Amino acid sequence: MTTPPSAPGTPIVEPAPAKLNLALHVRRRRVDGYHDLETLFVFCRDGDTITLANAPADCLTVTGPFAAALGASGAAAWPADNLVTRAADAFRAAFGVSARHAIRLEKNLPVASGIGGGSADAAATLRALARRHGVALDDPRLLAIAAALGADVPACLLGRTAFGTGKGDALVALDAFAGTPVLLVNPGVAVSTAAVFAGWDGEDRGPLDPADPLAGRNDLEPPARALAPVIDTVIARLAAQPGATLARMSGSGATCFALFGTPAQASAAAATIAVAHPDWWQLATTLA
């Protein structure tokens, strides 16, 4: 069903929440260079934000605490190497849109951190453009754009708990984990996704049961730890906090997370870790 377009003069604000992999099993390397994965995607209630408005010319403005990490701050021309602008250009080409847009990205999530920041930003851009121009979120052309932008973008476009297979883009939506308190911690170390996958030992350790992700694992933890040994310290700190039910690395790292029984326990853990490691980034939130 086609969605009625929004009023052209009204800015559209679209959240780009942090993505977590509660478990991530790498099954094999594919001939296309990707890996066959089994993963459980969940999304936080907090993250980056995309604001989109019509404009005489395309313009991207990057604000927020991690704007500088993208090599940009303030208003700028349309950088071709940014996932937000690539998403907008692909949308324009696929749907024949001639309108120009001013997009503001509030970058609150650390980059290259395993929580889908760039993928979430691209997906939020696609959702905002779809709302602006009356395109249904399940339009096959929109899904094709998401898949072409990156393996995590389809999951971020869906934006809800899902079991992912293939490259991670074959998705089955699930109803689980909503409202679970979680603490995200990043030690301020960026790790290369390509380098982490290159360090995977190639051993298939078996499938992931989407009904029991807590019994699963993240097969990318060992190679990520080899690149950034501080990940060991982060996971150990999280696991030692009262009320923590699971402590694990997300995606290809270096962000780690812990699930908690109550929001108070997550907040107390955040305070404790902030005292011991004031230079670490963290976010206490809940799963959507």
107 carries an active-site annotation: no
Burial of residue 170 (CB within 10 Å: 0-12, 13-18, 19+) is middle
Is residue 24 within 8 A of residue 218, CB to CB? The reply is yes
Return d(Cα 63, Cα 61) in angstroms, integer: 7
Catalytic residue among 19, 46, 48, 219: 19
Distance (Å) of CA 196 to CA 14, 152, 178, 218, 221: 31, 16, 29, 12, 9
152 carries an active-site annotation: yes
Catalytic residue among 48, 121, 152, 169: 152
Q: Give the length of the chain.
A: 288
Distance (Å) of CA 259 to CA 110, 116, 184, 262: 20, 18, 9, 9
DSSP string, 128-173: HHHHHHT--TT-HHHHHHHHHH-TTHHHHHH-S-EEEETTTTEEEE
Catalytic residue annotation? 19, 152
